[in-house]
Amino acid sequence: MIPHAETAHWIAASVALLLGLVLLSEVIVGTDVFRRRRWRAYLWPSLALVSGVLIWLIAILSTFSTIHLLAHAIWAEAAMIAGAVELAVVRGKLSSPRWSLVAAAALLISGLSFLVHEQNPWLYSRAAFLHHAIGWMLVVAALFPLGRALRPQRTVLWGTGFALTFVLLAVMLFADRDSASIFGHFGEIPRP
């Protein structure tokens, strides 16, 4: 009943990569150009909302330990709420830039649950290292939507940081398992 961990993490990494690239595209070409086709504005918030629903599927398949169930539940809820609020902003339902605080809170809570979920020190293992790295990255990345909420005029800075957060998250999620095929060719290197 439980899918292989790699499968779930590759899917999550792929979605994070897609999210990051969409956000990065908007930063590179500028919001005006990017949103000449209206549907593009809905891309990343919709992805976040849908991925939130899908993370619930992973959550209910993560009953092999309480911490995994709880952590996935937090990530699912954070993604759904943050995605929905951003969609509402794009749609015009919400207008204040302060609504970015929701994305900041989602990143902060997600990062903290990564850190709580990992009980070992940084250099205990690769998984521990990456869990700490992802956790702290998400906590720090909460500053980008926070900045967008409080200093909305510096769009490029906040947008770039926010986009790169998801690209980095994708890289780390791809690397977060023993036999991830993306790094599988390194598996033949003999252990020290």
Partner 1 sequence: MRRLAVAAVAVVAALALPDVGLAHATLTTSYPRAQSTIQVPPAEVRLVFNQSVTVTSRAIQVLAADGTLLSGTATTRNGGAVVVAPVSRLERGSAYTVRWRVTSSDGHSPGGVFTFGVGVPAPPPTEAVGAAGTSWRDDVARWALFAALALLIGPLVVRVVVLRRSSVPAALEQRVHLLTTVAAFLVIDAGIVAFVLRAANALQLPGIDLLYGDLKPFAEHTRFGIAFLAMTMGFAIVAGLLLVAWIFDRTALRWPALVLSLALASGLSLSSHQATEPNRGTLPEVADWLHLVAACVWVGGLAALALCVWPVAPALRRTAFVGFSRIAVVLVALMVLGGAYLALVRLPSVSDLWTTHYGHVLLVKAAIVSVALGWGAAHHFLVRPRLERGADPEIRPSLVGELVVAFVVLLVAAVLTNSAPPAVRDRTPVVAGAAR
Residues near partner 1 (CB under 8 A) are: 1-2, 5, 49-50, 52-53, 56-57, 59-60, 63-67, 69-70, 73, 76-77, 80-81, 84, 87-88, 91, 93, 119-120, 123-130, 133, 171-172, 175-180, 183-184, 186-187, 189, 191
Token readout for 165 is 């957060």
Q: How many residues belong to the chain? A: 192
Residue closer to partner 1, measured from CB, 156 or 178: 178
Say if CB 49 and CB 28 are below 8 A apart.
no
Closest CB 12 distance from partner 1, rounded Å:
15
Say if CB 181 and CB 132 are below 8 A apart.
no
From 192, 174, 173, 172, select the one nearest 184 (Cα to Cα): 174
Residue closer to partner 1, measured from CB, 71 or 107: 71
Residue closer to partner 1, measured from CB, 29 or 124: 124
Closest CB 10 distance from partner 1, rounded Å:
14
Closest CB 181 distance from partner 1, rounded Å:
10
Collapsing DSSP states into helix, strand and coil, what is residue 127? helix
Rounded CA-CA distance 71/190 in Å is 34
Closest CB 162 distance from partner 1, rounded Å:
21
Residue closer to partner 1, measured from CB, 30 or 187: 187
Task: Give the up-direction half-sphere exposure of residue 181: CA atoms within 13 A in the CB hemisphere.
Answer: 5
Closest CB 66 distance from partner 1, rounded Å:
5
Say if CB 121 and CB 128 are below 8 A apart.
yes
